[in-house]
Amino acid sequence: MDVRPVVPGLAPTEAWPALPLSEWAGTRDTLHLWTQMVGKLRLALSPRVNHWWEVPLYVSPRGLTTSAMPYPRGILEAEFDFLAHVLRLTTSLDETRTIALVPRTVADLYSEFVETLAALGVDARIWPMPVEIANPIRFDRDTQHAFYDGEYARRFWRILISADTILKEFRARFIGKASPVHFFWGSFDLAATRFSGRRAPERPHADNVTREAYSHEVWSAGWWPGGGEIASPMFYAYAAPEPAEFRHAPIRPAAASYHSQLGEFLLPYDAVRRASDPRTALMEFLESSYEAASRLGGWDRTALERPR
């Protein structure tokens, strides 16, 4: 078997490190909130794009970045650096400020973050309330979340690199409308989405965020570190709206299964990490779930897929 590593210069255990949720849950929760405050900066500064594509972060050579954002004096980038363990803010005026990523409360980091933006002349209205989490606490009042283990933050980023690389390869095979591979700080997951080209039926009682996100038919897949009743990291795939019989489709590899409550196929990260060929295992999951969604959903695949 020709096993092609995702990152040729790294050992498999480095490209696909262990990330047991029980060992880094505190760091994950704190980091989730930190990424939200930076994501809200991007939301405040960026022109609105369809499906909220102006809000995510992106995998970078050192962590997660906003990419360039416009502000009155030029452009600004904010990057979580999981090698140096700093949040770095850089402007086109050759100004750089760093904020230490160490065990500290959300309120403490938020205070320094706001002060740093002011020092750089960045005037942005950031709503200080977290989203998409249970029992949210305003950033400036959150003294509860204060964990940060740099080793687990680095492992988290290494997984994002491997998943991002494969999702980008898979995205390149599609010539229809497709999202970038991006990291949504609200749900704290890396995602990539393909579109059939047709509008979707409006979701009853949907809020503005959901209505815009799912205005068109999609198949989407990605990676999530887990949370709630899902006590381990997972790759996921779903279709919206979900075609009849999609949940009964034969998805590969064998470790994948349909989760009725989430309405998604899940593939345990550990099953991929421990596979003899992790890249092939993940590609099988992406291919088989997309094939089921597009076939059962009646997509015009000839027009949407690159000839092989």
Of 121, 99, 124, 94, the C-alpha closest to 110 is 99
Q: What is the pLDDT of residue 6?
A: 77
User: pLDDT tens digits for 272-306?
Assistant: 999 999 999 999 999 999 999 999 999 999 999 98
Q: What is the pLDDT of residue 308?
A: 76
- For 236, the enclosing helix (H) or strand (E) is strand 234-240
CA–CA gap between residue 19 and residue 27 (Å, rounded): 12
Q: What is the pLDDT of residue 3?
A: 63
**Is the per-residue pLDDT at 205 higher than 90?**
no
pLDDT average, residue stretch 251-257: 98
**Is the per-residue pLDDT at 1 higher than 60?**
no
- How many separate helices (H) and strands (E) can be counted in the chain? 8, 12
User: pLDDT tens digits for 121-166?
Assistant: 999 999 999 999 999 999 999 999 999 999 999 999 999 999 999 9
* Residue 298 exposed, middle or buried by CB count within 10 Å (0-12, 13-18, 19+): exposed
**Is the per-residue pLDDT at 15 higher than 60?**
yes
User: pLDDT tens digits for 67-113?
Assistant: 999 999 999 999 999 999 999 999 999 999 999 999 999 999 999 99
pLDDT average, residue stretch 39-48: 97
